[in-house]
Chain A
């Protein structure tokens, strides 16, 4: 005769969290820094075609760590939400906050209702007209959202990474200094220094025209790291 198992909700949630955390820790990290002209995103990414950082809308970018298929799925849903909203209302009515809420709801539902939680962390960032207007929303696998300022580190060892990043971070750095600080923090626990070819970097640059998102090509990264 089989006995039905009783698992306390606390235990269930803890198991799911552990599972998600383990998955995230296996992936490579992404960091983000506010700099003088906007927000910079840097990922340790050996692939030159599968991106971790991408454009959602005019002022909004998205970065994900963990399982590619899962954060890619959410990225596309975000682009759809943003484009439909911008088309049916106005372009300025698409905000990082509403996207972050949608992501948070979706991840929270998946965490509690699906067979397995998503093994991802995502960042939704919006560049403002000035540094104070920047918005950075860091969303975890269980849907919890934090509103960050200055720097964000996601992925395995993110606490140590964040601490290293905060040490070298200064407000109003230029792009070059910010990139060096970010890459320095990412490379610190790597045996080999990060090669420019492995770095994926993009910015939300408020000095650009309508679409602020801009991907730095490998030559540009190499010259900035010089």
Chain B
């Protein structure tokens, strides 16, 4: 590969195209459609909301396989790059692979081109990768990502949701997906208001996950005994940071206290 003149005009900055051309681990084209879903662990609830400086994305830690809990500590929210995050619901194996591929895609572009992709560009790229995943969807291996980040050009947080076949839709305030997505969304709807600050936004996200875990068996609640808390990331102009467990524990205690008082 090294030393070959690039074919065509200019170097292709896409890692996804590169591994597909080499027959790497990206999905094969035209895999046969199967019947029904394969039994595999599924990730459940992820959500994102905007706040004054950017976005918060959070996800519970449970993965289920049918009626059984497959994993208590699964991470479903990941930093995509310095200014964006990706969360995933659906078949865990596919979802984690998609995230790894997407992270490499963004970093590869950045290194080859010497510049970041625009947030719009990243969102479109993810849609394109999902469309390439179509044969897997036909086999019931469904992945539904949520993408959110800070748009450096527009100076604001933005949230994109996707459907299983790669449709891309921008949300103006918040969104939740996965089995507990409906409950989380109801909760977000009540508590969200524009211009939240960082701590408030984290708290709204935690409350929404807690509400989802109370209504949906596949969504895990916080587990202080084992020290398991949701994965929460914040993306702003300064970068993408994971919120540490200590902050989350304190925020949860506050939420539970308020709830005990009000019943």
B partners with A: yes
The minimal Cβ–Cβ distance linking B52 to chain A, given in whole angstroms, is 26
- Report the nearest B residue to A82, measured CB to CB: B111
Contacting pair A106 B104 (CB below 8 A): no
- Option from A55, A77, A87 in Cβ contact (under 8 Å) with B3: A77
B131 adjacent to chain A (CB < 8 Å): no
By size class, the interface of chain A is: 20 to 34
Interface of A is mostly: helix
**When the two chains form their complex, are residues B1 and A77 in contact, meaning their CB atoms are under 8 A apart?**
yes
CB-nearest residue of chain B to A118: B3
Tell me whether A107 and B3 are in contact (CB under 8 A).
yes
Query: Is A145 close to B, CB under 8 A?
Result: no
Our pick among A76, A78, A87 for the contact of B6 (Cβ within 8 Å) is A76
Q: Which residues does chain A contribute within 8 Å of B25, judged by CB atoms?
A: 87-88
Contact B114 A54 (CB under 8 A): yes
Q: Which of B2, B4, B24, B108 contacts A88 (CB 8 A)?
A: B24
Q: Does A173 contact B (CB under 8 A)?
A: no
- Tell me the minimal C-beta distance from B59 to chain A in angstroms: 21
Query: For residue B5, which residues in chain A have a CB less than 8 angstroms away from its CB?
Result: 73
Shortest CB-to-CB span from A43 to chain B, Å, is: 15
Closest B residue, CB atoms, query A109: B3
Query: Which of B11, B22, B114 is A84 in contact with, Cβ under 8 Å?
Result: B22
- Minimum C-beta distance from B97 to chain A (A): 10
A110 touches B3 (CB 8 A): yes
Tell me if A103 and B15 are in contact (CB < 8 A). no
A-contact bits for B106-125, CB 8 A (1 contact / 0 none): 01100110100000000000
- Min CB distance A22 to B, Å, is 22
Within the complex, which residue of B4, B104, B111 is in contact with A87, where a contact is CB–CB below 8 Å?
B104
Interface size on B, residues (CB 8 A): 21
Asked if B111 and A54 make an inter-chain contact with CB atoms under 8 angstroms apart, the answer reads: yes
Min CB–CB distance A45 → chain B (angstroms): 13
* One of A54, A55, A78, A83 near B2 (C-beta < 8 A): A78
Chain A residues near B193 (CB-CB < 8 A): none
Q: Is the CB of A84 within 8 A of B2?
A: no
B100–A56 touching, CB < 8 Å = no
A86–B104 CB distance below 8 A:
yes
> A74 an interface residue at 8 Å Cβ cutoff?
yes
From A215, which residue of chain B is reached at the shortest CB distance? B114
Residues of B within 8 A of A81 (CB): 1-2
A51 at interface by CB-CB < 8 Å:
yes
- B24→A83 contact, CB < 8 A: no
Per the 8 Å Cβ criterion, residues 29-83 of A in contact with B are 51, 54-56, 73-74, 76-81, 83
Contact of B172 with A by CB under 8 A: no
Instruction: List 7 tightest A-B contacts by C-beta distance, closest first.
Output: A106-B3, A77-B2, A106-B2, A102-B2, A76-B11, A79-B111, A83-B108
Given contacts A79-B112, A87-B19, A102-B2, 16 further A-B contacts (CB under 8 A): A54-B114, A73-B5, A73-B6, A77-B3, A77-B4, A79-B111, A80-B1, A81-B2, A83-B15, A83-B104, A83-B111, A86-B104, A87-B24, A88-B24, A103-B2, A106-B3
Q: Which residues of A pack against B, CB within 8 Å?
A: 51, 54-56, 73-74, 76-81, 83-84, 86-88, 102-103, 105-107, 109-110
Can you offer 28 A-B residue contacts whose CB atoms are under 8 A? A51-B114, A54-B111, A54-B114, A56-B111, A73-B6, A74-B2, A76-B6, A76-B112, A77-B1, A77-B4, A78-B2, A79-B112, A80-B1, A80-B15, A81-B1, A83-B104, A84-B18, A84-B22, A86-B104, A87-B19, A87-B24, A88-B25, A103-B2, A105-B2, A106-B2, A106-B3, A109-B3, A110-B3
